[in-house]
Structure 1
Amino acid sequence: MSSISIDTILDAADAHQASDVFLQEDEIPRLKIREQIVLLGDEPVTLQHLTGLWQVCGGKVESDMDRDSGLISHTHVRFRVNLHRSMGRLAAVLRRIKTEIPPLPTLGLPVNLLTRWAQRSFGLVLITGPTGTGKSTTIASMLHWMNMNLARHIVTIEDPVEYIFENQQCHFTQREVGRDTTSFAHGLRSALRQAPDVIFVGEIRDYETALIALQAAETGHLVLATMHSERVADTMERFTHLFPDDKLNQGVHLLADQMLGVMCQRLVPKKDGGLQLLVEHIENGGAMREWIRKREAFQIKEHLAKGNDPNAQSFLKAAVEACRSGKIEESVAAQATSNEAEFKRAMRGVQ
């Protein structure tokens, strides 16, 4: 008789603090622990196991090819779920969602900058980075700080809802794409009729969502959102590329006027086996606003490279500081900057 079950797999993922669970029909389950993928036991997951998981997550085994969903385990651990097929076999990847919201100062973030943005009454803040770099955690920590310090109505539009907020000074309306609204764009448009002060959009990935987010900022709302871009300058280009050619000028000017700031995140291995957060960020204003308006990404890169703006930091500066403080290996820091020669010059103090 099989000793393996979806419940036992999810229990193991929680016990080992795994970030992800990989399941595929007739394959041994795998966990990602500290960025390393390891086998869980020696017993494969069966079609019956995965059929049950798909059904619980709302997937149609007979017809669905891909589906995003969420799942709460029997021990009340939340998972983000992607159901898919691999070579015709049922499969799933589950990402464990940390439900305890860490305070901003514990994350290694520029707290003064983020809390200053959080106190603004309108504008757009973008938190960016590849998947799994803690963007949702950063946003949740900002919202938690607001909840403790400000009186706001905060509407979140997420896919799925990750962190559950209890109303303190703020009132939260949390909406999940697929369950409470049909899309990010539709949820965002509806949010404007719900008397919000702050709107969190889980991801901006299409023209309609980008436009409504900027219009919401323009009409007096603070909008927080995430994107999948790796650097500050890349973020500006990625955002404007969402606009069709005949709307590009409108998008660029709105972005230049409404952007408060951008923070990009990366996670790299620490010497002690954990993960170190590196951030690159800028605050919009003055010359920065004109560079965005003129789409002069090279000017933004040069400004970051100079390192003389207290409200701006490059990944290079973040990597050098983490290396000098003994948190990460020099080879890891050099790889994180994507320019080893530049990193070595910076380590020697050469601009």
Structure 2
Amino acid sequence: MDMNAILKAALEKGASDIHISAGSPPMLRISGELLPFGDKPLTFEETRSLVYSILTSDQAKKFENEYELDLSYGMPNGRFRVNVYMDSGGIAAALRAIPALIPTMEEIEMPEAAFRLARLPRGLVLVTGPTGSGKSTSLAAMLNLINLERNCHIITIEDPIEFIYQRRKAIINQRELTIHTKTFASALKYALREDPDVLLVGEMRDLETIAAALTLAETGHLIFSTLHTIDAAQTVDRIIDVFPPYQQQQIRAQLSMALEGVLSQQLLSKVGGGRVAAREVMLINPAIANLIREGKTHQIYSAIQTSTQAGMKTMEQAIKDLYDKGFISYDEGISKSSNPDELRRLIR
């Protein structure tokens, strides 16, 4: 079995993810469901051969030393984000398909508020959600809008590089962790000397990266990043909780001034096949900035609920909209809501 043949078939079938591990056939995630590719389980040797066929010698050495490896892999008709890891059966890999073309914001039905966030001159914009919720695609669409509209300098810091941008109006420099820079925090530290207007930070993983991103947003740069959080309130809490208690009040004040918006998204199964994104939208206004500053994040949900005219929307309101349009079933909406009682009330 050939890895490129598996990946080619996965792209043709519209798979979002491919899983390679010993003891089962290659598995393809199609419309959110894992399905086997063939019926012959892979042996340890076959799995190792498939995975090593897409690694360079340096990547293979790094994997053998660390037992974990992130990389990107390209072939003529597609690109993949790859994680290679060890498990009880030996070597395993998870590959995420990356579209060859960056979709437009219209094509992935991003809300009008997202266009406003992409066109800001400065500030911090976060796209959050669980793994596999389309965060990278949404960010790529927003960055490409800037690329098409603004004469500016964009720097991306990614792990690994996913979408490849074609230069239009903007100068774009894409940097990959371990290849072009050691850490997100280090890349951000030196970014000030690189005259950026816009920065994409693949993930705000640690205190140093978050602190650097906040400082850059405060000093006149537009910063985009991601967090694995399910809503705006949790996003604010996650950022604050990274810091020691004696620093948290200062960070609340910083965040209330630097943060411009949070888009929290998840993918739901569509009626008839495929998936569709539901997006919660929080835009910073004086009331929400004050809630962040005073540590009253539990009140953010209510503030979003009452600010729909400003373009905000709770996740339950977003799911209801998809249900009203006939895109999703009632059961799917309820199963993906973190506040099902509120969703039931909205749908009545």
Same fold (TM over 0.5): yes
CA distance in 2, matches of 1:307, 1:119: 21
Shift of 1:286: 0.9
Shift of 1:307: 5.2
Task: Work out whether residues 57 and 71 of structure 1, in 8 Å CA contact, stay in contact via their aligned partners in 2.
Answer: no
- Decide which moves more: 55-64 or 157-166: 55-64
CA distance in 2, matches of 1:344, 1:48: 50
Deviations 1:319-339 (A, max 9, x none): 111111111111111222233
Counterparts in 2 of 1:1-351, with a 5 A limit? 4-43=1-40, 44=42, 46=46, 47-55=48-56, 58-60=59-61, 62-73=64-75, 75-87=76-88, 89-111=90-112, 113-306=113-306, 308-348=308-348
TM-score normalised by structure 2 residue count: 0.94
CA distance in 2, matches of 1:154, 1:62: 35
CA distance in 2, matches of 1:269, 1:88: 31
Task: Work out whether residues 57 and 69 of structure 1, in 8 Å CA contact, stay in contact via their aligned partners in 2.
Answer: no
Aligned-pair identity in percent equals 34
Task: Work out whether residues 22 and 29 of structure 1, in 8 Å CA contact, stay in contact via their aligned partners in 2.
Answer: yes
> What amino acid does structure 1 have at the position aligned with 2:183?
S
Shift of 1:42: 2.9
Deviations 1:245-295 (A, max 9, x none): 232222111101111111100110111211111111111121111001111
Task: Work out whether residues 153 and 172 of structure 1, in 8 Å CA contact, stay in contact via their aligned partners in 2.
Answer: yes
TM-aligned CA distance change 1:305 to 1:337, over 3 Å: farther
> What amino acid does structure 1 have at the position aligned with 2:127?
I
Q: What is the DSSP-based 3-state SS (H/G/I as helix, E as strand, rest coil) of the residue aligned with 1:276? A: strand
Deviations 1:10-51 (A, max 9, x none): 121122121111112354211111111111113325133334
> What amino acid does structure 2 have at the position aligned with 1:12?
A
Q: What is the DSSP-based 3-state SS (H/G/I as helix, E as strand, rest coil) of the residue aligned with 2:323? A: helix
TM-aligned CA distance change 1:316 to 1:241, over 3 Å: same
> What amino acid does structure 2 have at the position aligned with 1:90?
I
- Decide which moves more: 23-32 or 91-100: 23-32
> What amino acid does structure 2 have at the position aligned with 1:65?
Y
Shift of 1:299: 1.5
TM-score normalised by structure 1 residue count: 0.93
> What amino acid does structure 1 have at the position aligned with 2:101?
E
Task: Work out whether residues 20 and 93 of structure 1, in 8 Å CA contact, stay in contact via their aligned partners in 2.
Answer: yes
Give structure 1 regions of 4+ aligned residues with deviation exceeding 6 angstroms.
none
TM-aligned CA distance change 1:62 to 1:156, over 3 Å: closer
Shift of 1:308: 4.3
TM-aligned CA distance change 1:40 to 1:141, over 3 Å: same
Shift of 1:344: 2.0
CA distance in 2, matches of 1:174, 1:129: 23
RMSD: 1.7
> What amino acid does structure 1 have at the position aligned with 2:9?
A
Task: Work out whether residues 21 and 89 of structure 2, in 8 Å CA contact, stay in contact via their aligned partners in 1.
Answer: no
Task: Work out whether residues 54 and 83 of structure 1, in 8 Å CA contact, stay in contact via their aligned partners in 2.
Answer: no
TM-aligned CA distance change 1:51 to 1:166, over 3 Å: closer
- Decide which moves more: 148-157 or 42-51: 42-51
Q: What is the DSSP-based 3-state SS (H/G/I as helix, E as strand, rest coil) of the residue aligned with 1:59? A: helix
Gaps of 5+ in 2: none
Q: What is the DSSP-based 3-state SS (H/G/I as helix, E as strand, rest coil) of the residue aligned with 2:165? A: coil
- Decide which moves more: 212-221 or 238-247: 238-247
Task: Work out whether residues 197 and 221 of structure 1, in 8 Å CA contact, stay in contact via their aligned partners in 2.
Answer: yes
Aligned residues: 343
TM-aligned CA distance change 1:126 to 1:62, over 3 Å: closer
Task: Work out whether residues 59 and 83 of structure 1, in 8 Å CA contact, stay in contact via their aligned partners in 2.
Answer: no
Shift of 1:55: 4.7
> What amino acid does structure 2 have at the position aligned with 1:6?
M
